[in-house]
Chain A
Amino acid sequence: MSVKVDGYKSSSIFEQLKVNISDNEAKKKETIKKVNAIFEFNVKNNEGKEQIWTMDLKKGGTVQTGKGSAKPDIIINLTDDTFVELASGKLNGQKAFMAGKLKIKGNMMLATKLDGVLATIPKAKL
């Protein structure tokens, strides 16, 4: 199932995150062990529309559009552009928060894991 939503640049990043997570069972287990949380992203695009994506890195290891079945541990409100900057490594989670570019509800500790979660850039191979 695709997690693509038209009109969002973040959309393709979520798609990539989904591939990264579900592509490799062993890697998925490792990520879940490290992060162990459900992230809900409320992304606002340039037209002012809002879209929710949920990343479950606690049990299922899934990425989906809309809210998940379980309660998220952290809800992050941000713009489409900020999300792209975070995922491409131009901006880190703390800077974005200090600049007021993202608003957080829930367990704030998890925001410190955000950079690792959004690291879409694949690992180099031997």
Chain B
Amino acid sequence: MAQWFPEDASCGPVNPMTGLMKQFTQDSSSQHDKFSTERYGEGSSRGAFRTQTNINRQEDEYAQKFFQYPGQESSHPPNLYNLDEMSKELEAIRHDIPRNGDWAVEFLKQPKIIPNHVHPEFEEFNMIYKNAQNQNNWVSQFQQQRQAGNIEIHPEEITAFEQAFEDAKKSASWESEFKAQEQSWANEFKQQEEAADAKTELASVASKLVASVEGETNPKFKSSSFFQFMKKLSKQELSIEGNKIVENAPISNENWASEFSQQQNNNNWASEFTNKQTNSWTREFNENTRFSGTTKNGESDWATEFQKTDNQINDTSSTRTASDNWVKDFSLEKSVDQTMEDLKKDWENYQATSSGYSYNYNDYEFSQNNPFLNMPNLSSMKGQNLAESILILEAKVQLDPNDSYAWYQLGTRQQENEQEPKAIAALRKAATLNPQILDSWLSLAVSYTNEYRRDDVYDVLESWFEHNSKYKKLLEQQRAKANFVDPHKFFTDLFIQAALLNPGENLDPDVQIGLGILYNVSEEYNKAIDCFQSALSLRPNDYLLWNKLGATMANAREPEKAANAYFNALEINPSYVRARYNLAISFINMKEYRDAVEHLLAALALQAGETDGITNNSLNVENSSFQNITEKGMSSNIWDTLKMCCGFLDRPDLESKCDERDLNSFKQEFEFI
């Protein structure tokens, strides 16, 4: 339509109708309309149709003219708005329209056939999507703008721009330098802050202690040097830095101060101090009470004991040293820190349970009515399947809660059984009872990785090093030279150093496993795959390791390769529930939902302890009652995944069976035992 205007303008005051008529007859698309109406419509409609189109165009044109040449309305000829003729025509149209059904339909269709029309929303979305994917956001935006052609860029401008771009790149490197600088500042600041925190923590511990003995009315106790010392600590008049006690403010009690300096000059104390640094306060305290107890004829009450010791401080030098030791040992920063850390961890665990979201990893929840509890020959029993062996191990640790190795076995079996919280609880027990079972630390690291508890992963890996005679030295070296701001870097470096001790064919698979776990935490799956593969080269029959490899591959989005690794694991141990569950997940990722359902059902059947429907011979109980016990061993996460699969298969009937935990109703349709 726009091309009409120049012509119209040159035509000047002539009635634009005539110009339009000319244009109109040249418009082939409109002629198409005309022909079709002529063919289908009545003869009398022809005139009406054409006029109508003219009116529409004319109106459009006027509107456009109005918008394009504002203020020129006055130049229009007077007869422009003479619409008499038009209204007459309109009258005619009104009569004709109903009879022109065909034309009307065709006309209505017309706007839909606009060629090359793209919804603006699509373009916008496309652009956003591309931008989100494109890391060089700025570059693409720049390109788009150039393509849009809104800006004309002259060659000199381009060179100037490129120059500016180069400069910007240089400044970018400067920026990163600045960032690094900032990071180190931040670290420094953080360390200082941590030191300050340690002081306040110490003070709060001391103040708690002061508060707890506030009720003590004995004036001697209150004036005792220990009490004074604690009070000072709590008021932060004193603080402990490294091995020295530092005064923060002028000391009011001169007596105490002189006593204190005497103590510091005591060489005995210094050596004793270093000896006892690693001992915990409580043990030290107990020893001390015993010691003073012997001097005072075995009195046991703490308060009186303390009082007695206090009495003797000024008298006998031997008792005095004992009491002094006690004071100092208590004030050891390390032991206090340790106590605070333990308290903090307990607190965190408590919070997790009270909110009801996370599991309480501290208490192992035993199966009810475990028939193996009454078995006389328990120690020799192995169990025919995973469910049974778990019950046997549970019975073992219930009868002997200090059997650390049984706890460890129970933990790893619960990992196999896809019961992470129980596995963690059991492994924690094993590790506390006997920290020398190194594998329990590694297994814990695995469980914590699965549960997204990064900090705990680092903690247990540290413990693994701490109790590992081969690598303990490395940990100490690493502690001395590296700071702990980035725990991931700290431990990957540490593991790599450990791996370098035994290069080539002598590599330690455990080190590779630890490194693999760390790379899983940081989602560097390809590195993790390398680690697990090299560990497998030495332990080709470790089904747990095959599963670790598979899971890593799955998380690296390679479900086909992952499935192969799982099949290897299942070939070695067909009742490996976790590998089956993982295999099902891989099938879901490959969109093979039916296979996935079958493997999930197989996993559940294994957890329930079903073996070909034959009664368990190692037990003289009926199968049904045995299943009542083990059915509770089925993981809810497997049921949830199964339910989701049924949803993908569009089977709401099976979904409700999942809610009911009804494994039997799946037997008719699926083969899984």
What's the Cα separation between A109 and B643 when bound, in Å? 31
**CB-based contact A19/B640 at 8 Å:** yes
Interface string of B197-239 (1 = CB under 8 A from A): 0000000000000000000000000000000000000000000
A49 within 8 A of B: no
Q: Which one, A26, A90, A120, A126, contacts B520 given CB within 8 A?
A: A126
**CB-based contact B129/A121 at 8 Å:** no
**CB-based contact A112/B548 at 8 Å:** no
What's the Cα separation between A87 and B585 when bound, in Å? 14
What's the Cα separation between A67 and B20 when bound, in Å? 57
What's the Cα separation between A9 and B644 when bound, in Å? 10
B19 within 8 A of A: no
Q: Which one, A13, A108, A123, contacts B647 given CB within 8 A?
A: A13
What total of chain B residues lie within 8 Å of the partner, measured CB to CB? Answer: 51
Q: Chain B at the A interface: mostly helix, strand, loop or mixed? A: helix
Known contacts A124-B550, A125-B581: does B451 contact A26 (CB below 8 Å)?
yes
What's the Cα separation between A8 and B308 when bound, in Å? 78
Point out the residues of chain A lying under 8 angstroms from B547, CB to CB.
126
The B-contacting residues of A in range 81-109, CB under 8 angstroms, are 84, 88-90, 94, 97-98, 104, 108-109
Point out the residues of chain B lying under 8 angstroms from A26, CB to CB.
358, 451-454
Point out the residues of chain A lying under 8 angstroms from B449, CB to CB.
126
**CB-based contact A84/B648 at 8 Å:** yes
What's the Cα separation between A22 and B359 when bound, in Å? 12
What's the Cα separation between A25 and B453 when bound, in Å? 9
What's the Cα separation between A58 and B187 when bound, in Å? 29
What is the chain A residue whose CB lies nearest that of B582?
A124
What total of chain A residues lie within 8 Å of the partner, measured CB to CB? Answer: 33
**CB-based contact B578/A125 at 8 Å:** yes
A27 within 8 A of B: yes
**CB-based contact A97/B452 at 8 Å:** no
**CB-based contact B588/A121 at 8 Å:** yes
A122 within 8 A of B: yes
**CB-based contact A27/B125 at 8 Å:** no
Known contacts A9-B650, A120-B644, A121-B585: does B125 contact A108 (CB below 8 Å)?
yes
What's the Cα separation between A88 and B591 when bound, in Å? 8
What is the chain A residue whose CB lies nearest that of B358?
A25
**CB-based contact A108/B124 at 8 Å:** yes
A12 within 8 A of B: yes
B555 within 8 A of A: yes
Q: In whole Å, how far is B439's beta carbon from the nearest beta carbon of chain A?
A: 14
**CB-based contact A126/B644 at 8 Å:** no
What is the chain A residue whose CB lies nearest that of B516?
A126
B294 within 8 A of A: no
Q: Which one, A13, A88, A97, A124, contacts B562 given CB within 8 A?
A: A124
New A-B contacts (11) at CB < 8 Å, excluding given A22-B357, A84-B647, A88-B588: A16-B647, A19-B640, A23-B357, A26-B453, A89-B591, A108-B125, A121-B644, A122-B637, A123-B554, A123-B585, A124-B582
27 A-B pairs with CB atoms under 8 Å apart are A9-B647, A16-B643, A16-B644, A19-B637, A25-B355, A26-B453, A84-B648, A89-B589, A98-B125, A98-B126, A108-B124, A108-B125, A108-B128, A109-B128, A109-B132, A111-B128, A121-B644, A122-B585, A123-B554, A123-B555, A124-B550, A124-B552, A126-B446, A126-B449, A126-B450, A126-B547, A126-B552
Closest 9 CB pairs of A and B: A124-B554, A26-B452, A124-B551, A112-B132, A12-B647, A124-B582, A25-B357, A27-B452, A125-B450
